[in-house]
Amino acid sequence: MPQVQVDKVALEASICRDSFYDFVQRFWGVVCQEDPVWNWHIYELCHYLQVAAERVFKGLPKKHDMVINVPPGSTKSIICSEMYPVWCWTRMPTCRIISVSYAYNLAADLSGYSRDIVESEKWKELFPDVWLRGDKNAKHNYENNHGGWRYAVGVGGKVTGRHGHIIIIDDPIDPAMAISETVLKSTNRFISETLSTRKVDKKITFTILVMQRLHQNDPSAIKLKKAKEENGTPVKHINLPGEITGNGRDVVRPRRLAKYYKEGLFDVVRLDRDALVALLSDLGQYGYAGQILQRPAPPGGGMFKIGRITIEKSSGPLRHFKEVVRFWDKAGTKDGGAFTAGIKMGLDSKDRYWVLGRAYGQWDSAAREDVIEQTTKLDTISCIVGVEQEPGSGGKESAEATAKRLAGFRVRIVRPTGDKTTRADPFSVQVNAGNVYMVEGPWNRSYLEELELFPSSTYKDQVDASSGAFGLLTKNRVRVGGLFT
């Protein structure tokens, strides 16, 4: 029987073309000299990335964009930014790829590592029909002999005239700058307004956003939020926290991947318990919650341990309350950045504090005053009304105008002292001691979310109003003229 001659080079090339995961394994040594740790998530990431790319290769409309949230040091950039772009060339040499990171140098470095693969002896052996053009071979911008190219740019950089089949956004925000509202807004604007127009075909081109969570309003949050809107682009969310804490299994996406966690750990080799403890020490609880747990707030809350708030269907008869108040934190711009919040709170006969209700919205000044008046009438005269006086003559006039409109009711004008965090501290003490109760209602979720994320929350109006209400219930007020301080 004649022996079959096997072309080992052709066989290995075929295996690499057919499987992105196999490609990563075989080319690992080209971009990384450290021994690989083949944790289960590497195969899963490769699988989802390949499924999405296959539609581009066939010219089919995309099913979704991708958001990948994984801890730092989990090989995300090697897979998504270094290996993936050039693997696409093994199947579609004409593929054009735009890649973005928060800084040009980072984007160029990742692009350069991809270029190293194409210029390696292993690539030349397996894929000799794809090479880089000598006249277009810069670190951040190179083109192959079939017209496929890779263009790397930092956030805010120029991409005019470029249209990609695939857009890869890897670490769009420097973790050290995540608390900057200016950086967040400019980054989100660049992604939504600039990169969204840089597509060969809007129906086919898909976007990959890969990062660790950094903020309640970071690019991942914006992308996921838009996916829920009518006509929003669907998103495949791969969310892999470094460990599962409490009810954290619900955070793992897709949920089926939670079964791969061992003793609640994502990676028992690189992110074992000792490594996680060290990271908690280095990052602090806020940084750890975002970058490791993929929840940009500490478990159970930071300043407010919201898991200690008891939610009841009813507060019982109001006659059991020593005092009931509603405090207003006012905003004056309709559809502006801040909200007007009126939090109703009571102190019962057992000295427990109850959050009884919420009025909340973005109203112009006229509509806001109507809401305050209507709500006050519904609360009845037994409820003390607190109104925050903002600094300056305008704040004084606004507070006094509200008090005048509520003539006949028990109104207290309060001049706040200290920053928002300082004012919130007394209320947080009672929350964390388990002495705060809340009446069940559809508003509970958004209220608790703001408390959980405070002081890193995007909005702080409900916390401010709660702090004011708690202050009215607990402080001895001394009348000074028409003010209570």
Domain ranges of the chain: 8-239, 306-484
Of 130, 251, 149, the residue nearest 198 (C-alpha): 149
Give the Cβ contact number of residue 354 at 10 Å.
23
Specify the range with the lowest mean pLDDT, choosing from 69-73, 235-239, 298-302, 382-386: 298-302
Q: For the domain covering 8-239, report its CATH number.
A: 3.40.50.300
Which range has highest mean pLDDT (162-166, 390-394, 424-428, 452-456)? 162-166
Q: How far is residue 466's CA from residue 477's CA, in Å, rounded to a whole number?
A: 17
Higher local confidence (pLDDT), 6 or 370: 370
> Phi and psi at residue 288, in whole multiples of 5°?
-65, -45
| Confidence band, pLDDT 50/70/90 cuts, at residue 247 | low
Give the Cβ contact number of residue 269 at 10 Å.
10
335: left (phi over 0), alpha (psi -120 to 50) or beta: left
- Mean pLDDT along residues 469-481: 66
Residue 382 near residue 453, CB atoms below 8 Å:
no
Tokens, residue 91: 């199947």
Say if residue 299's pLDDT is above 70: no
Higher local confidence (pLDDT), 458 or 101: 101
Q: For residue 339, give the amino acid letter.
A: F
Say if residue 246's pLDDT is above 70: no
Residue 128 near residue 197, CB atoms below 8 Å:
no
Say if residue 3's pLDDT is above 60: yes
Sign of the C-alpha dihedral computed for residues 414, 419, 424 and 425 taken in this order: negative
Tokens, residue 240: 């892999």
Q: Reduce the DSSP state of residue 179 to 3 states and report it.
A: coil
Q: How far is residue 126's CA from residue 90's CA, in Å, rounded to a whole number?
A: 10
- Mean pLDDT along residues 435-461: 88
Residue 83 near residue 42, CB atoms below 8 Å:
no
Say if residue 393's pLDDT is above 80: no
pLDDT value, residue 449: 86
Tokens, residue 12: 């290995």
118: left (phi over 0), alpha (psi -120 to 50) or beta: alpha
Using a pLDDT cut of 70, give the percent of the chain over it. Answer: 93
pLDDT value, residue 316: 74
Of 404, 410, 425, 402, the residue nearest 471 (C-alpha): 425
pLDDT in tens, 147-199: 999 999 999 999 999 999 999 999 999 988 887 889 999 999 999 999 999 99
CATH class of the region 306-484: alpha beta
Distances (CA, A) of 221 to 68, 321, 404: 11, 40, 42
Give the contacts of 326 (CB within 8 A, at least 6 positions apart). Answer: 342, 343, 344, 345, 357, 359, 375, 376, 379, 383, 384, 385, 386, 469
- Mean pLDDT along residues 466-472: 96
Q: How far is residue 443's CA from residue 440's CA, in Å, rounded to a whole number?
A: 8
Residue 320 near residue 302, CB atoms below 8 Å:
no
pLDDT in tens, 309-348: 999 988 776 668 999 999 999 986 655 567 899 999 999 9
149-154/166-170 β-pairing: unpaired
pLDDT value, residue 458: 74
Q: How far is residue 285's CA from residue 18's CA, in Å, rounded to a whole number?
A: 42
- 3-state SS of the chain: helix, strand, coil percent to 5? 45, 20, 35
pLDDT in tens, 191-222: 999 999 999 999 999 999 999 999 888 999 99
Tokens, residue 29: 């040594």
pLDDT value, residue 476: 43
Q: What's the DSSP call for residue 181? A: H
Residue 186 near residue 156, CB atoms below 8 Å:
yes
Say if residue 484's pLDDT is above 50: no
Specify the range with the lowest mean pLDDT, choosing from 232-241, 275-284, 333-342: 333-342
Can you name the residues that pair with 91 across neighbouring β-strands?
Answer: none
Q: How far is residue 352's CA from residue 321's CA, in Å, rounded to a whole number?
A: 9
Q: What is the dihedral of CA 308, 341, 404, 334, to 10 degrees?
A: 180
Q: How far is residue 167's CA from residue 204's CA, in Å, rounded to a whole number?
A: 11
Tokens, residue 125: 């052996």
| Confidence band, pLDDT 50/70/90 cuts, at residue 1 | low
